[in-house]
Amino acid sequence: MTRIPVPSRERLIFAMDVADADAARKLAERLGDSVQFYKLGLELFMAGGYFELLDWMVERGKRVFVDLKFFDVPATVGSAVRNLAGRGVTFATVHGNQGIMEAAAAAKGDVKILAVTVLTSLDRGDLDDLGFACDVDKLVLSRARRALEAGCDGVVSSGLEAAALRAGVDDRLIVVTPGIRPVENRPVDDQKRVVNVEQAFANGADYIVVGRPIRDAADPQAAAEAIQSTIAGVFGGRA
């Protein structure tokens, strides 16, 4: 189980994967207090109005996770991360080698840097296609150790590997787990390495990222509150 003290309602991060900033604002207003933490990714970034949306959320007391998976030459990544300082951003992601992670960590300021280990949409066959001969869990552990050495604050990793991360890497490491499916995974879903809410936290996740099970629900607020209730049950009302 996670040792990082976090208010239980902030352990749910909602992946705001919608078409544009206007749709994001409308959905955030509909979700109200059921969600305290939002992940803003590439789709919204490319739609325009990303930083205005980010500022709008921060002004309303929400936490924001900038999930742009910075990958470029280290100097460029460092400059990009530096430009997030002072905006109220909690997390930002990088997805690269040691030099990239070190540059991001050196420039992070008040932002916590998360290194992506292995995307939850990838399985063993996908890693073979990419030229990785090692097992998924060994690759995740290797990347997590290197991320901590580089000065990153945590990693993004499937809940399937969270237990190994807790056993094999320093407890200071923040573990953020996407690919959460409160119910059985749908055949059309592109997430392959998934766990449910209870499994993720039992394995050692600090935060979970949930998108479609909330966004596509008939009542997104009720869906988010149901997950919040499950989280509260896991932690027995503790932060």
Residue 150 in contact with residue 98, Cβ under 8 Å? Answer: yes
pLDDT tens per residue, range 5-40: 899 999 999 999 999 999 999 999 999 999 999 999
Indicate which CATH number applies to the domain containing 166.
Answer: 3.20.20.70
Residue 85 maps to a domain: yes
Measured distance CA(74)–CA(98) in Å, rounded: 9
Q: How confident is the model over 139-161, as a mean pLDDT?
A: 88
The total number of structural domains that make up the chain = 1
Single-letter amino acid, residue 102: E
Measured distance CA(166)–CA(164) in Å, rounded: 5
- pLDDT given for residue 163 in this prediction: 83
List the catalytic residues.
69
Range of the domain at 173: 8-233
Measured distance CA(176)–CA(116) in Å, rounded: 10
- pLDDT given for residue 131 in this prediction: 52
Residue 177 maps to a domain: yes
Measured distance CA(24)–CA(38) in Å, rounded: 10
Residue 238 maps to a domain: no
Q: What is the mean pLDDT of the chain?
A: 87
